[in-house]
Structure formats: C-alpha cells, structure tokens
Amino acid sequence: MTETDSPIDHVARLIAQRRRETPHIPLEGMEILARARRLDRMSRIWIDAVFKKHKLEAGEFDVLASLQRSGPPYSLRPTELYRSLMITSGGLTDRINRLTRKELVRRSVGEIDARSLLVQLTPLGLQTIRAAFEDDMRAESELLGALNPEEQRALSALLAKLLLSLERRPEAPGYEEAQEAAPAS
Amino acid sequence: MTETDSPIDHVARLIAQRRRETPHIPLEGMEILARARRLDRMSRIWIDAVFKKHKLEAGEFDVLASLQRSGPPYSLRPTELYRSLMITSGGLTDRINRLTRKELVRRSVGEIDARSLLVQLTPLGLQTIRAAFEDDMRAESELLGALNPEEQRALSALLAKLLLSLERRPEAPGYEEAQEAAPAS
DNA sequence: TAAGATTGAGTCTTCAATCTTA
DNA sequence: TAAGATTGAAGACTCAATCTTA
C-alpha cells in the first residue's frame, strides 16, 4: 500500500463493486462523504453507550454541552441553540421539554426580549454534563487511536477546510448567523 | 496559517469556547468526530435537494443504490441490505414497503431460503436510480471543490484508515458479516 | 410585518414481540 | 432452537400553522 492508497474499508468495497456497474460515473464524492457519514454512524455506537451511562439521549447531551460551553450563567436563547445544533425550532422545543422534565434545564426569564425565555442549566444539569462530557471526550479520543497525532491533525485540518467552504456558500442556511457568532478568539 | 493549522470553521469556534470552560479536558475527539458529523449534516442539505428532484427520500435512495451496485439481476436479501445500510430490520421493512408502493422495487421469490424474499429493482426503479445516482455524484464532487485532488486523496485515505480500525473492533456490530462480504476485488 | 417559540400532524426510525422456516 | 422478516408501539424529528412580542 502506497502513501496515497486507501485501506480496504467497507466503503472501498462498495466503490469497487460500483465501478463495475457504472464505470462512467466518477465516484470521488463517495470516497469522502460516504466515509464521513459512516464514521459518524459507527462512532455513535460507542458514544451512545457513554450517553446511556449518564441516562442521556444524544440530542439531550448536545443541548447540555452547548449550554456548558457558553460558560456561566450557562444559559442561551432557544434560537442560538437550534441553529448551532442544526435542528428545527420545533425539534428544540421538544428537547427542552424533555430536559425540563428531567430537571436538567429550566426556562428562565430573559431580560432582553420577552418573546423568548433563556434556557439555563440547573445545578443537576451542570453536574451531569460535566461528567458526561469528560467521559465522551475520553471515549472519542480512544476511538481515534488508530491515527497518530500527526495524522489526526492532518485529518481535522482537511475536514475544517472543507467545512469552511460549505459554510461560506451563499446558499448555506445559517451562514449569516455563523459569521456574527464568530468570537474574537 | 501553517500547514497543520486548521481553518477557523464553526467547530473551531466551539472548541475555542470550550477550552475556556473546561481547559483540563483534551478535545481531540471533537476536532475530528464533530467535524465528520457536521460534514455529513451540511452536505445533506444539498444532496437531499438532488434526491427531491427525483422524488426520493434519502433512505429510499440508499436502498435503490445498493441494489443497483449489486449488478444484474439487481436483487439482494433484506438482511444484506439492512446490515450494509446500518439500520434495523424493521426500518428496512418500511423502506421496502414505501418503495414497493412507488413501484421502484418488488419482492421476488428467493430460491435459497423460503424465510426471505429477494428485493429487486423494477425497470422503473433501475431507470430512477441511474439518473439519481449520477446527479448525486455530480453534486457531491462539486461540494468537494474546495479541496484539490491531492487533498481529496489524503482525506479519503485518512478516513478509510480510521474506519477500518473501527470495523475491526471486536465489539463492532456486523463485523463478521463485513468480513465475509468482502469481494475478491 | 417580522422574529421567536410552540403546537399538532405526519414521517422515519428503533425496539421488542411475533410469526415462519431452517 | 435459531435466523429472517414483519408488526405495532413509542420516540424524535420536520414542516406548516399559530400565537405572542418587537
């Protein structure tokens, strides 16, 4: 195997099969996007097990992690949340309702705009996401063990370059929001 | 920006924010897995539009594409399909029912095992997936335009290496099946 | 008028139980 | 007994319509 040849993973077998059926169609798209999709789905098998240990669904974890990331007082507006999570506003309402029932978040009064209530972590929510996030990152690092640090850096840099180009497309939903949300860092 | 620095995409901003909140937790996992997830979700925005043009849902497209890839007579057993697609058997039953209603597949008699009926493309199904698949690959190639051919090869090789390591984990569901399904190619 | 959030209907999925055949 | 496929219930999401406030 040379430096640029890919190992024979599941997607490589699918591509080889398809080349015989539709040899006239270039398959570069599959090489990357099908693998990104499969990497997400496969890694979820182990990551979901981590969430389960903390009695969380993946979608609930994402909301709690966003709130923790924002720092004290651990509160965000629903619109910020659903745009960042790439789900609809209706979907987020459901997640918040579930997390409220579990007493991991509450809707607190927003000072700025009376149309929206801030979503805020409860002390139990903060404690839960602290433990769950640390476990999650440990599991994720472990899943990436097949790549050395240099390969990991190369991979994340290529993914970031590709993602940035998609985020900058005029037709990309949420583009304006992503821009103005850019922190000084 | 140096060779190994990542461009400041959305995930980079999330990571910078989080480093301030939980500086003690290594975040290498997010660098790659969060980006893979986001790449899948963002690219789907454009890809789903292609499917819609052919009046297909993403899940339906995947079934048709699997059948086409298998070559004449374009038929597979349901178990092969749901394992390859990483969905449950119940989920596949529904997809087949929907595709049957659209007259894109049919359940034909399997000669080997009377417990299962082969799922087979109809002529309309073959015609549909031929056009849809070509459009899909064109769209996917276009989405990857920000990376030059060399970068694309490097990215797919790294993804393949990582995926192969996940597929080889003893705990990976479907591992045995994936192995025996490996074609000579 | 527009923006933020919620609601209800419809869709696609998983999960567990079931039926049939090996 | 086990494997393949289906069913029905429950879950989480999208979409479009609605309500409230800017």
Spatial CB neighbours of B154, under 8 Å, sequence gap ≥ 6? A4, A154, A158
Backbone angles phi, psi at A108, to 5 degrees: -110, 160
For nucleotide D3, the protein residue with its alpha carbon nearest to C1' is: B115
Give distance CA A114 / C1' C4 (Å): 9
Determine the pLDDT at residue A173.
Answer: 60
Spatial CB neighbours of B41, under 8 Å, sequence gap ≥ 6? A86
Which has more pLDDT, A51 or B184? A51
Question: What is the pLDDT averaged over residues B103-127?
Answer: 92
Give distance CA B6 / C1' C14 (Å): 37
Closest-CA residue of B relative to A35 is B159
What distances in angstroms separate CA B119 from CA A169, B60, B95, one per listed residue? 39, 13, 11
- Cβ neighbour number for residue A122 with a 10 Å cutoff: 17
A128: nearest Cα among A47, A50, A45, A55? A55
Which residues of chain A neighbour B170 with C-beta distances below 8 Å? none
CA max distance for chain A: 62
3-state secondary structure of A129: helix
Query: For A105-152, how does the pLDDT look when each residue is reduced to its tens digit (9 = 90+)?
Result: 999 987 788 899 999 999 999 999 999 999 999 999 999 999 999 999
Query: For A154-174, how does the pLDDT look when each residue is reduced to its tens digit (9 = 90+)?
Result: 999 999 999 999 999 877 665
Band (pLDDT 50/70/90 cuts) for residue A104 is very high
| CA distance, residue B63 to nearest chain A CA (Å) | 13
Q: What pTM did the predictor assign?
A: 0.92
> Which residue is listed with tokens 């195997």?
A1
Band (pLDDT 50/70/90 cuts) for residue B183 is very low
Spatial CB neighbours of A24, under 8 Å, sequence gap ≥ 6? none
| CA distance, residue A88 to nearest chain B CA (Å) | 13
**What is the H or E stretch that residue A169 is in?**
none
Query: In angstroms, how far is the first alpha carbon of chain B from the final one?
Result: 41
Query: For A13-34, how does the pLDDT look when each residue is reduced to its tens digit (9 = 90+)?
Result: 999 999 999 999 999 999 999 9
